[in-house]
Amino acid sequence: MLLKLIVNRVEVELDLAGVTETAYQETESLLSDNLGNPKVKNREAIAVAFLHVLRQCPEANASDLWHHVVYRLYCEAFRKYRPEDPKQSWVRASGDALERFVQMWYTPVMEPEGIKITALLSRDQKRAALKEMSLEAQVGDSKLDVALYLTDKDAHQIFGGVHVKASLAERVSDDVPASRAMMGRGLFSPLWTLDVKSFPPTKGIARVRDLINRGELGTPDRPSEKRKYIEEHGDFDGCYSANARTVPSSGGTTSGQRIHVLRLSQQPDDFAAAVIRFSQRRRGARLLEPDH
């Protein structure tokens, strides 16, 4: 699909490979219907729209679907129902929406493996998860997005959490202390991202400002500071990017941690596989613990 936009009074054409006109129009209608329904939260409208367009366009770059389809259609639909700035509404709602999406997308993969994945949308939920990890005194209660639990009948035990970011511009450094504290207690602490980053065009500026969503991680040979969080410093148990343009780690890294590129339509992807492997090790270790 060729998407035509006017940005900063510059006409831009984006070739959204794998996106069909039908899926685009269906997503537009879905967002409009949900935003017009006072019973549907904005975050839910975004999460459901992203889920829908991703299922309809499995060959498309998931990060582009979020950045160039759901975000732009949300802003258009929002203007029909609210007097507020749609971009500010997106900022408020989209973080929770992406966490909800992660829960919804991975539950069918992880539930059969005895894993519960839960978006922590309230401070009370975040606080309870950190308390269960014995980290409530060390970590601020806003520094965990998604919790991972081993399930056994009606019981569950936390074994990690996921730091979810649409863009690595969202001060990922703020998550580092929480992640390091979790890893120090033997808990799983990966970073999951859409690695969204594009530059809007401006007349007379170089071609790189072409709205193409290239991400922020650089390359192994020319790493960004954000790439160094993973490959050099090992601040997370790996980084899992759903932007097809992200360059994955190659060969060994200083920290032993790596950047992986996900194909969300193919499950279990590298992220799901890593969660499942960690849970199996944790479950095995728990079975070996002596009775008291």
Q: Tell me the residue type at 232.
A: E
> Within this chain, do residues 181 and 218 fall inside the same structural domain, yes or no?
yes
Pull the structure tokens for residue 171: 């001060």
Q: Is a pLDDT exceeding 70 seen at residue 92?
A: yes
Which residues partner with 151 through β-bridges? Answer: 156
> Within this chain, do residues 126 and 19 fall inside the same structural domain, yes or no?
no
Tens-place pLDDT, residues 196-217: 999 887 665 555 578 999 999 9
Residues, the chain: 292
**Total of domains in the chain:** 2
- pTM higher than the cut 0.85: yes
Structure confidence at residue 292 (pLDDT): 44
262 falls within a domain: yes
Tens-place pLDDT, residues 152-206: 877 889 999 999 999 998 688 889 999 999 999 999 999 999 999 998 876 655 5
Strands 155-165 and 146-152: antiparallel
Max intra-chain CA distance, the chain: 72
259 falls within a domain: yes
104 falls within a domain: no
- Residue 163 and residue 161: Cα distance in Å, rounded? 7
- Residue 44 and residue 70: Cα distance in Å, rounded? 12
> Within this chain, do residues 53 and 117 fall inside the same structural domain, yes or no?
no
Domain that holds residue 181: 109-288
Mean pLDDT of 74-87: 92
> Within this chain, do residues 81 and 192 fall inside the same structural domain, yes or no?
no
Residues 6+ apart with CB under 8 A from 222: none
